[in-house]
């Protein structure tokens, strides 16, 4: 048996705080009473919202790819799993994913209201969010995940070529832009 597999292949430095940042930016927008000022603020922030969303969605794709990859490896310990031994709370575990789903559902309305623009939700984004939510749930927040063989994959996840996912993840990590992992979403989802 080799030394083990990292729980995080290197995503941590590039994860952006989606929920906290979105809540803060909306708070900033809503502090204005005047609608034209709120519209101006939203116009200023909406690209940031989308950038944050795509970064987190890319992170979720990367996590699923990493899980697919480590399942192709011989049984090994998972190293540096900071969830191990913790207490599982399903609502807490999936709250960030639920927040992203809700954000995505409300975004077309906000885009229309503040910018007069139509925004269509990409159904692939919802599929990825639902798959990642299932991934978190079936693994119970990874509180009992000691070995790579303990990791469960969502029912609809594709794993063809998963032994090559590590190379793709490593390439994206060099760019420091997790949204680039979205280019590989078709490798894990039936899209």
Q: What pLDDT shows up at residue 3?
A: 86
pLDDT per residue over 161-177, tens digit each?
A: 999 999 999 999 999 99
Instruction: Report the candidate in 53, 50, 36, 25 with the shortest Cα–Cα distance to residue 115.
Output: 36
Structure tokens, 47: 């690209």
Per the structure, the complete domain to which residue 35 belongs is given by 5-188
pLDDT per residue over 34-47, tens digit each?
A: 999 999 999 999 99
> How many domains does the chain contain in total?
1
pLDDT classification of 189: cutoffs 50, 70, 90: confident
């Amino acid at each position: 048996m080799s030394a083990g597999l990292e729980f995080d292949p290197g995503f941590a430095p590039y994860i952006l705080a989606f929920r906290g940042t979105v809540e803060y930016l909306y708070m900033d927008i809503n502090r204005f009473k005047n609608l034209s000022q709120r519209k101006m603020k939203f116009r200023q922030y909406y690209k940031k919202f989308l950038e944050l969303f795509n970064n987190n969605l890319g992170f979720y794709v990367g996590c699923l790819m990493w899980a697919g990859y480590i399942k192709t490896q011989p049984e090994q310990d998972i190293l540096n799993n900071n969830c191990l031994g913790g207490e599982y709370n399903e609502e807490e575990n999936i709250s960030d994913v639920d927040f992203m789903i809700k954000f995505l559902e409300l975004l077309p309305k906000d885009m229309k209201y503040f910018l007069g623009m139509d925004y269509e939700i990409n159904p692939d984004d919802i599929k990825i969010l639902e798959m990642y939510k299932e991934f978190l749930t079936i693994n119970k927040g990874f509180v009992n995940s000691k070995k790579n063989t303990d990791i469960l994959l969502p029912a609809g996840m594709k794993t063809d070529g998963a032994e090559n996912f590590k190379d793709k993840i490593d390439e994206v990590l060099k760019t420091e832009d997790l949204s680039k992992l979205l280019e590989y979403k078709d490798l894990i989802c039936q899209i």
